[in-house]
Structure 1
Amino acid sequence: MDPALYKDAQVSRGLKYHYFYQPATPGKPTLLFIHGFPSSSYDWHRQVEYLRPKGYGLLVPDLLGAGETSKPDDPEAFRMVRIARDIVDLLDVEGLDKVVGIAHDWGSVVLSRLANLFPDRFYAFAWLVVSYAPPNPVPINIDAVIGHLKTMTGNGRYGYWKWFNEDDTYLICDKNLDSMLQLAYAKDPAIWLDWLTPVGKTKEWVEGNRQPGIPDWLTPQEYEHMRETMAKGSFKSYLNYYKVATRSLNVPDDKEIPQEAYYIRKPALFIGAKRDAVAPPDLGRMACEQFVPHAKIVEFDTGHWVQLQATEQVNKELEEWIEGLGLQDTKPNL
């Protein structure tokens, strides 16, 4: 991604966002890409490289806590409604009336709130791996959630959330950065079954500084770019996504979202990853069936990082889906 096409903007609550932006050519819509954890806008570089020559507008921010965007320590800053408002501020800065939203991982939750609160700013929504996530106006008990998932699916899924919720976790992650990244970007998706989803095992992995190496679907240059980006900051701010969820800090905002807004009526796409131990496609399908029944659903035989592990297939699927929307957005930037 061309560094010359990155910009900085201050959103309405005073935070700085760093983002890649290329305006659309006439007749092409702008695509908003929202990444997840522990990532930055660079996670979408293969999609940007594929779509950029085709004339699509591209807006790809570093999310709050990531890359060169502001990194607040206070978990309250990471309430999803507030981050969604930040993203709309970026659309306003660039004079973008409507975009196509595409997201992965925690970015999918941000895109979900955008769909609830600002549907008129979007032509359509695409969720990768983590599907549409409706508001949750009820406080959660993470132990109960883990227990329920274990009973329902045989896998507690969110065991690592308990450690990520602790205030000093970032110190171990920062100290053993390669170990943390090589668990997140695991060589074998099955590693997550033993070291991410069970309670206590993620801490054991990172404290032990396990480094099995990088997956074959990442080049050494890509891994080093990701590592350098993360090394410039800290996990202290970034882990607030998990604290906000585990501590139910989104509940006051979610209570204010009317139930009719839970249902997504714009065109939608869900791309599932069959070998993701945390967010299997079956869970995504359940959410879509209830709230986005018209969504197109496709699955790929990959782990969590589907846009990197199955790049050509994902790029083709996204392009065909976008073209199928029949958009002719010739409105110039304001």
Structure 2
Amino acid sequence: MTVAQFEDKYGAFYKTHTTSRGLKYRFLHVPAAAPHDTTLLWLHGFPSSIYEWRHQLDHFHAKGYGLVAPDMLGYGGTDKPTDAALYTHNAMARDVLDIIESLHPAKKPVAIAHDWGGALLGRIVDLYKDHFAAFAFFGVGYMPPNPAPFDLDAVLAYLKSTTGKEIFAYWDFMASDGADKVIEQNFESMLDLLHPADMPGVWGDVLMQRGQIEVFLTQHKRVPRATYITDEGFDAMRANLAGGLRAPLNWYAATVRGHNNADDLSLATQPPTTVAQPVFYAACQRDPVSSPAVGLPSLRALAADLTVAEFAAGHWVYLELPDALNAELDRWLESKVLTA
């Protein structure tokens, strides 16, 4: 489906809502048509868009599910504040609940997320789990609140000692001043880097070694791009970020600069979060930064009813294997949610 076709089909369903802290969000809202009246909430990550959910939105729209898909803070038609302190997980979780409550749903929705959307979904679970019927995490699992102040150097040292790689080394660049301009000036290289044909190799050599992402971009390096990124998809990614990268990069900056520390500490002093609702996890076996080995332990501690579906996919499973992912999510919804 091209961008034009997507807009023709869904353009009339866009809405806006100003949240309780005064930020305007744009979101897609398609009312449920099936008798079960179940709505699915889709939370994208970095640097994604509502359009990237097209395979999932089309599949579940055809089955009569309601759909709510926001442009996350910093993206698309949503406000793009440049202050990283506005991008805390607690505050954005409240934003999402404000959007849901503005729709006055008759039934609790199912929340589904990927990448940084998954980190935000974890905080939604911590704070507002009773407002949702079920939760689905793609790749990135549940991240419990951390009582210790965030220290990227300490995190990378720990990852190096336990996995042999500084898995989140690229966060150092993403949270740095001027990273937005470097990416914008080298966008083709950045898209190659985000979606390489050889994800384990390229991400291991570049994203997981401090300083290498800057070298890759400023030297205009290119690598073969994954086949699931068509020319149309590439153009859509460029258009989605036409407003610039400074705001989206604040999802990294908020964490690296410690803006989540106080909220994490407060939540960490409470009993660990557990949920009785069904939880789905898309375990992506070829994802170097969000491996099942990292994602599963916290999900098993969180969920009494956990369904794990394994995929021979990298980080972007919803684009790489959309039919397989949709089928597994469909089965889970029908067996665990619609029967509840």
When normalised by structure 2's length, the TM-score is 0.92
Q: Does 1:41 pair with 2:85? A: no
**Pair 204,81 (structure 1): closer, same or farther in 2 beyond 3 Å:** same
Choose the corresponding residue for 2:260, options 239, 250, 264.
250
Aligned-pair identity in percent equals: 35
Spell out, residue by residue over 1:273-329, the C-alpha distance to the aligned partner (whole angstroms, 9 max, x if none).
111111111001122233335311122111100111111110001111111124379
Contact 2:284 2:310 survives alignment (8 Å): yes
1:207 is displaced (CA, Å) by: 1.2
Choose the corresponding residue for 2:12, options 4, 9, 13.
4
Q: Does 1:208 pair with 2:219? A: yes
Contact 1:306 1:314 survives alignment (8 Å): yes
Aligned residue in 1 for 2:22: 14
Aligned residue in 2 for 1:332: none
Q: Residue type of the partner of 2:112?
A: I
1:221 is displaced (CA, Å) by: 1.0
1:68 is displaced (CA, Å) by: 1.7
1:120 is displaced (CA, Å) by: 1.3
Alignment of 1:206-245 (within 5 A): 206-230=217-241, 232-245=242-255
Aligned residue in 2 for 1:86: 95
Q: Where in structure 2 are there 5+ consecutive unaligned residues?
A: 1-5
Contact 2:133 2:337 survives alignment (8 Å): no
Q: Does 1:160 pair with 2:166? A: no
Contact 1:140 1:248 survives alignment (8 Å): yes
Contact 2:276 2:304 survives alignment (8 Å): no
When normalised by structure 1's length, the TM-score is 0.94
C-alpha distance in structure 2 between counterparts of 1:149 and 1:289, whole Å = 21
C-alpha distance in structure 2 between counterparts of 1:294 and 1:260, whole Å = 19
Following superposition, which runs of at least 4 residues in structure 1 exceed 3 angstroms of deviation?
Answer: none
C-alpha distance in structure 2 between counterparts of 1:61 and 1:241, whole Å = 15
Contact 1:11 1:89 survives alignment (8 Å): yes
Q: Where in structure 1 are there 5+ consecutive unaligned residues?
A: 330-334
C-alpha distance in structure 2 between counterparts of 1:223 and 1:214, whole Å = 10
**Pair 164,68 (structure 1): closer, same or farther in 2 beyond 3 Å:** same
Q: What is the Cα-based RMSD across aligned positions, in Å?
A: 1.6
1:271 is displaced (CA, Å) by: 0.7
Contact 2:274 2:304 survives alignment (8 Å): no
Contact 1:66 1:238 survives alignment (8 Å): yes
C-alpha distance in structure 1 between counterparts of 2:191 and 2:274, whole Å = 35
Spell out, residue by residue over 1:127-186, the C-alpha distance to the aligned partner (whole angstroms, 9 max, x if none).
000001111131121111111111111121001011112111111111112221221122
Q: Does 1:24 pair with 2:35? A: no
Q: Residue type of the partner of 2:69?
A: V
Q: Does 1:55 pair with 2:64? A: yes
SS at match of 1:256: helix
Aligned residues: 328
Q: Residue type of the partner of 2:256?
A: T
Q: Does 1:322 pair with 2:330? A: no
